[in-house]
C-alpha cells in the first residue's frame, strides 16, 4: 500500500505520457492552525485531475480551477499564500487564523521523478533541491532527520520513508500491519526464521529476512525513527528480539499477547541483563486498548498507538539527542545529480 507522497510521485511520473501540463504543489510553510503539515504534496494535471492534498479540499478546488483556466505558470515556480485573512481562511476551509504558503512547481522534465521513485524503491532516502527561478533540480543523499526547508529562493524536500518498522513474525496480523504502516510512510522489514511462513508472505516492498530475531535487531542500526513490534506468537523468537530491542533508542517497542502473558514475559526479561527502566519501555499488550480481536483490528490498534507515541513531545527530544548518530545512518548511495 503506497503512502500519500508515493502516490503523488507515481501519478506525476505516469502522467508524463499525457500531452497536458503538470504541476507539483508543496506546502512549504504553515502559520497557526493548518489542515496539512509542511511537506505535504499534490500532483495536478492540466485537465484538473489531482492526487494528494494540501488542505481539506477548498484549496485543491481553487488550484484545479486555476489549472483548467490556464492561470498557473508553466515556465517558472510560483509561491502563493492561502488563508492570510480571516475571510480568506473561511473561504478556503482553513481554521480561523491559519495560513499556508505553497510552491507551485511546473514539472516538464520527468527525469528527476523517475530517479526519486527508483531510490524509494531501493529503500533509500533522497534529497531534492529546487531553485525556484531556474527550476533546476539537484538530487543528493538524505537522512531521516531532514525536513522540508524553504528560503524564498529554493525549496528542499526529502523523499522516501523517514520511519522504519521491524516486525517479528510473518503471520496474518503482521501482513495487515505491514501494509498499513507502508501507507503511513514506514519502511517495513519483517523477520521470521520459519520457512513455511516466509513462503506465504505477500507484501510488496516489505523486506523479508530469515535470520534469527536477535541478530536482525543488532544489525538493524536501530535509531529514534525505528519501531519494533513482536508478533510471532513464539515466546522464544519474540523474547530474543525484545532482549536486544529494549536496549536501543527505538521510539516504540511492543509485543503481542494477553496481560498475563506479558507479565510472564517481563519476568523472563528480568532474568537477563536488562534494567527495570528498559523493561518498562515495553508496550505489552501491544497497541491501544480498543477491544481489537481480528488481525486487521490489532494492526489498527498498534499503528494508532505508534502514532500517539510518535507525536508526543518526548519523541522530539529523543530524535534531537540521537541526531549525531542518525546523520551517519539511513544514507542512500545516490550521487549528486543536477537535473534541469
Rounded to whole angstroms, the Cα distance separating 9 from 141 reads 18
Q: How far apart are the first and last CA of the chain?
A: 31
Q: Quick one: pLDDT at residue 211?
A: 96
Write the pLDDT tens digit of every residue in 284-335. 999 999 999 899 999 999 999 999 998 885 445 545 545 554 454 444 344 4
The residue extents of the domains of the chain are 4-160, 163-315
Write the pLDDT tens digit of every residue in 67-89. 999 999 988 899 999 876 655 55
Q: Tell me whether residue 318 is exposed, middle or buried, using C-beta atoms within 10 angstroms of its C-beta: 0 to 12, 13 to 18, 19 or more.
A: middle
Cell numbers at residue 119, please? 531510490
Roughly what angle, to the nearest 10 degrees, separates helices 295-310 and 172-183? 40
- Residue 166 near residue 173 (C-beta atoms within 8 A): no
| Least confident interval from 26-35, 80-89, 230-239 | 80-89
Rounded to whole angstroms, the Cα distance separating 286 from 258 reads 9
Give me the architecture of the 163-315 domain, per CATH.
3-Layer(aba) Sandwich (3.40)
Rounded to whole angstroms, the Cα distance separating 241 from 174 reads 15
Rounded to whole angstroms, the Cα distance separating 326 from 259 reads 34
Amino acid at each position: 500500500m503506497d503512502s500519500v507522497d508515493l502516490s503523488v510521485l507515481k501519478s506525476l511520473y505516469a502522467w508524463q505520457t499525457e500531452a497536458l501540463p503538470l504541476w507539483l504543489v508543496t506546502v512549504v510553510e504553515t502559520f497557526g492552525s493548518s489542515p496539512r503539515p509542511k511537506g505535504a504534496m499534490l500532483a495536478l494535471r492540466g485537465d484538473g485531475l489531482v492526487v494528494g492534498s494540501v488542505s481539506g479540499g477548498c484549496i485543491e478546488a481553487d488550484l484545479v480551477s486555476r489549472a483548467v483556466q490556464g492561470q498557473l505558470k508553466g515556465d517558472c515556480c510560483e509561491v502563493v499564500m492561502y488563508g492570510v485573512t480571516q475571510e480568506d481562511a473561511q473561504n478556503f476551509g482553513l481554521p480561523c487564523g491559519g495560513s499556508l504558503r505553497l510552491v507551485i512547481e511546473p514539472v516538464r522534465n520527468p527525469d528527476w521523478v523517475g530517479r526519486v521513485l527508483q531510490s524509494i524503491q531501493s529503500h533509500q532516502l533522497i534529497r531534492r533541491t529546487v531553485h525556484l527561478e531556474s527550476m533546476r533540480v539537484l538530487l543528493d543523499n538524505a537522512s531521516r532527520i531532514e525536513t522540508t526547508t524553504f528560503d524564498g529562493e529554493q525549496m528542499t524536500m526529502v523523499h522516501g520513508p523517514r520511519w522504519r518498522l521491524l516486525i517479528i513474525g510473518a503471520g496474518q496480523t503482521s501482513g495487515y500491519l505491514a501494509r498499513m504502516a507502508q501507507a503511513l510512510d514506514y519502511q517495513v522489514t519483517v523477520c521470521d526464521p520459519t520457512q513455511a511462513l516466509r513462503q506465504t508472505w505477500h507484501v510488496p516492498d516489505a523486506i523479508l529476512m530469515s535470520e534469527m530475531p536477535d541478530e536482525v535487531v543488532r544489525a538493524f542500526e536501530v535509531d529514534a525513527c525505528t519501531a519494533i513490534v513482536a508478533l510471532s506468537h513464539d515466546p522464544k523468537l519474540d523474547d530474543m528480539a525484545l532482549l536486544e530491542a529494549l536496549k536501543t533508542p527505538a521510539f516504540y517497542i511492543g509485543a503481542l499477547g494477553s496481560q498475563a502473558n506479558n507479565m510472564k514475559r517481563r519476568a523472563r526479561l528480568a532474568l537477563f541483563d536488562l534494567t527495570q527502566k528498559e523493561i518498562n519501555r515495553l508496550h505489552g499488550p501491544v497497541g491501544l486498548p480498543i477491544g481489537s480481536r481480528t488481525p486487521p483490528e490489532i494492526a489498527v490498534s498498534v499503528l494508532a498507538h505508534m502514532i500517539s507515541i510518535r507525536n508526543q513531545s518526548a519523541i522530539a527530544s529523543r530524535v534531537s539527542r540521537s541526531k549525531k548518530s542518525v546523520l551517519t545512518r539511513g544514507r542512500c548511495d545516490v550521487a549528486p545529480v543536477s537535473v534541469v
